Structure 1
Amino acid sequence: MLKGFGAKLKALFGMNTFDEKYFETLEDFLIEGDLGAKLAMDISDEVRKQAKSTKPKTQQDLQLLVKSLLSDKVSTFDPSLDDDALTVFLILGVNGVGKTTTIAKLAQYYQKQGKQVLLAAADTFRAAAIDQLEVHATRLDCRIVKQKHGSDPGSVVYDAITSAQARKEDLILVDTAGRMHNKENLLRELSKIDKIVKGRGIDAVHYKKFLVIDSTTGQNGISQAELFNQAVSLDALILTKYDSLAKGGALVQIGEKLHIPIAFVGTGETYRDVHPFDKDEFLDTLVGLTD
């Protein structure tokens, strides 16, 4: 994870010559790591200032300084569920990010906590998406609510909530259409689902919207977060391909610009490869504190 970027920073921090070239190189490295030009400049300027005044004694002092400057721009989201109320997770994301597989991983994650999980196949735009979710449901011994290809996604969500409430289930994971909409169509479709969820008595505490992002996409991930956040206020991100994360700075940018926390990371192909996001681990790797 971020080995190339973190290793570069680590090597740079190991130099004790704080000349202008040093800080220009630091800024370049931070931009390379997808922190964006403004944030990279701000951090480089602050490191320059502190290097002159406090005279960091070790490489680790510099790494910890950069970590502290980034820390308030990255936050975590607690994905725990109430014991006595139905919760709805709306899972969003463009095609190809691993959204449906992530839903299956989350289903098993909560099943292992003793929760009754229902899958809602509201990506009715693609017949393959419904079939794929059904395969996961069978493997996980998990209930699924679906309709035929081309059905109204809102109708699927309505049926799923009605069914889960009747059976006193704990969590509904809603798969949504992953094609990249224009903003107006996205807003219209998600607003309709949003109204249906709230209309079935699911309050804000028990209704969360997660955007699945491929960790390796960098700036594209920022664009996706901006688009979906405009359409429906996002509660948190879920990161796929986290084990090969190469564009970690983009996550810092999303946190700084949109104030969206991170809930889960996917680290492999099996159902068990999903974990709550560890902020310290992420930042340590980003600045080269871990190998």
Structure 2
Amino acid sequence: MTWLVTGGAGYIGSHVVSALRGARIQPVVIDSLSSGHREFVPADVPFVHGSILDADLVAHTLRNHAVTGVIHLAGFKYAGVSVQEPLLTYEQNVTGTAQLLKAMELTGVDKLVFSSSAATYGTPTGDIVTEATPTNPESPYGESKLIGEWLIRDQGRARDLKHTSLRYFNVVGSGAPELYDTSPHNLFPIVLRALTAGKTPRINGIDYNTPDGTCVRDYVHVADLATSHVAAAQALAAGTPLERVYNLGSGDGLSVRQIMTAMAKVTGIDFEPEIGPRRAGDPDRIVADGTLAARDLNWKMRHSVEQMVASAYDAQRHAITTAG
């Protein structure tokens, strides 16, 4: 059994590739390397340098490697930047998904796990998000992910595509030191880069209606996330019925202050975060319920906050050592 991982040279995608190998499933990677890294893909994993916007290339890859199904992670992932770059966001995430579906139809590949986003919910009225929570995305990124889900749903109806979409919030940590988060926008790498550069990390707002006054969000370990992507692929391959959408959530969340405390403890760098004004539109608390995914996709939180930070810190130091 062979599965194509789009965006498999990225932070999350490379962990999915590792999880597939751990499950004795052959991965094939296609990645444009616009944000991914060729060195994140093992030398013995087939790699195609190209974009999912090229349906002919994707179709050739599917045929050439006798692909069983696709785990689709490729796309433009920066919600904040998407506000300034809506056309790029829609091209990569909507047109790209449509072209992927076209290539799958042409080659008869009928199984798809879509890496979606909890950004599809926007700012929900309740503080626990379930799959029944109404979607109301507030950025082109969130909108593009929701449209991607619609495209997949409609293709499923028209062509009997077997599929599921996985929604989640903040992905952190590392499953191996050589695989790390290089995003300029994510909290963990921002804080770790600041600390190792001798700078002080910042908290935006301490007057939220939470136990310690800082925002509470879901933070999920990337290896746990990858495990459930593979579980979804295995279920589809076995013909096991799945829900159309699953939340990969913690159920309780972590506050920004808790993250900062863990950062100081793990790194051994004693610091007191700078306090800035709260950001407009930031809800007090948003976490997702992962009950359905726990039932069907082997989902669970296997890492404590200290373990999440420690794995991210080890990976960052490995990256610095390798670069140096």
**TM-score, L = length of structure 1:** 0.42
Structure with more of its chain in helix, by fraction: 1
Q: Which has the higher contact order (CA 8 A, sep 6+)?
A: 1
